[in-house]
Copies of this chain bind each other. A is one copy, B any other.
């Protein structure tokens, strides 16, 4: 049974036979309701409590929170009072920040909004930002950028539903370790320097006001814990959202991006690792590659008979470039049609007049200049394909290494969660075709969408998941990916389409006419 963060109580009235103080009367009743050892209450609440309780004739609503020490009461309202009690879940992404407004009384999602991380002006990647934070002014500037951004969008999100920021009593924030540090004003310096030590693994719960967030003055903020510099709260939130931590059967969760973060396990144990897969999977490395957006090619198919390309762009606009999911589709179809060989090299005879040589490197024209938005050819080079193959090989090698560490093979899995917004757009058939992910039945794959946001929202819906957040953290064994001979052997074998060992990918069949 879920215990709501908002509890309504009808307290026994004080009398000469029961002169328990107001605060202690409330805490005693809540302790028995929640089965809690003790419940914390701050000074500000004590100051207003006697009037609130008497005006409500001891029939009250309590807004609760938890921290690492247990339950606390953030606010007490008259039960009759129809004041809304809201909460906000935040996916604190390096690139994009997503907010979801959740009614704290019933756990219902009310609205969502998102915005580009305002720290992007200081650097698109987290490394640049951490260097920028080397000076206290730089660190403060980065913190102010994200906190101000959050405050603007918290207010807008609340207003969009007819509420105010002050109606927000609880927030849950999931981000990677570096973003979490920058947001909290913690020095991120040692995250990127050997031996890669964060300031804190379990940041816990803080007053919103102490973090600079404009919400109700008594609002509390849960910050998701991390396992280290390279396995952050966004992934803990993702595991929580997937439910992997409660399954009997062993499953895997993969967050595909520049870094591939992978968790393997079940309700009893989890192992995790993170490794650089390279930017190719997100479309970032290709000359025509870019983030998803209007006019970006997100899906590609090639007719094996005519070799005609069928290109889909976001919002059906003239093509401006290609994103990760489009690139994976493209590579998969080029391979299946025999336009790429198993080494990933262009097959000149099959590509015919679509192939151009520029500066001694082969380029395949994907969109002719007459159809492209910018009026010039959009093409993919041999170097782009090579880069994608290195990335997909890295991803598969990570999966293989992790499963091998518990004497499993990737194909033994029965459930494969794909986390992250980017992951949702990948066509698993294409990803299997290039050997990026194992050749499992398609119904084994489950995309989670924004699992970081989903996990953060879960905590707001169900108070008992608060401890689960730490339990997940504590039950994960983090595996350092040692780039040893074993790893390099696996990587070399995975640098083919779909793999040196084609028996691993029985469903992948080249369709030559």
Give the B-binding residues of A (Cβ under 8 A): 14-16, 18-24, 38, 40-41, 43, 46-47, 49-51, 67-70, 184-187, 189-190, 194-204, 206, 210-211, 226, 228-229, 480
B15 touches A200 (CB 8 A): no
Contact across chains for A200 and B47 when beta carbons are under 8 A apart: no
- Chain B neighbourhood of A14, CB < 8 A: 195, 197
Minimum C-beta distance from A487 to chain B (A): 17
Verify B19–A196 contact, CB threshold 8 A.
yes
CA gap between A470 and B306 in the complex, in Å = 84
Note all chain B residues with C-beta closer than 8 A to A185. Answer: 43, 47
Copies of this chain = 2
Q: List 26 A-B contacts (CB under 8 A).
A: A15-B195, A16-B195, A19-B196, A19-B197, A19-B229, A20-B197, A20-B201, A21-B199, A21-B201, A22-B190, A22-B198, A23-B201, A24-B201, A38-B68, A40-B68, A40-B69, A40-B204, A43-B185, A43-B211, A46-B184, A46-B186, A47-B186, A50-B187, A50-B190, A51-B187, A69-B70
Cα–Cα distance between A19 and B480 once the two chains are bound (Å): 11
Given A16-B480, A210-B43: A199 and B38 interface contact (C-beta under 8 Å): no
State how many angstroms separate the Cβ of A378 from the closest Cβ of chain B.
43
Could you tell me if B43 and A184 are in contact, using CB atoms closer than 8 angstroms?
A: yes
How far apart sit A70 and B68, CA to CA, in the bound complex (Å)? 10
Given contacts A21-B201, A197-B22, contact A47 B210 (CB under 8 A): no
**Chain B residues near A16 (CB-CB < 8 A):** 194-196, 480
Partner among B15, B21, B49, B200 whose Cβ is within 8 Å of the Cβ of A46: B200
In the complex, given contacts A16-B480, A22-B197, what are 5 additional A-B residue pairs having Cβ atoms less than 8 angstroms apart? A16-B194, A19-B197, A38-B68, A43-B184, A69-B69
The answer to whether A21 touches B69, judged by C-beta atoms less than 8 angstroms apart, is no
Q: With A and B bound together, what is the CA distance between A210 and B70 in angstroms? A: 22
A198 touches B68 (CB 8 A): no
Please name the residue on chain B nearest to A67 by beta carbon. B40
Does A43 lie within 8 Å of B201, measured CB to CB?
no
CA A114 to CA B34, docked complex, whole Å = 45
Residues of B with C-beta under 8 A to A204: 40-41
| Smallest CB gap from A195: residue in B | B16
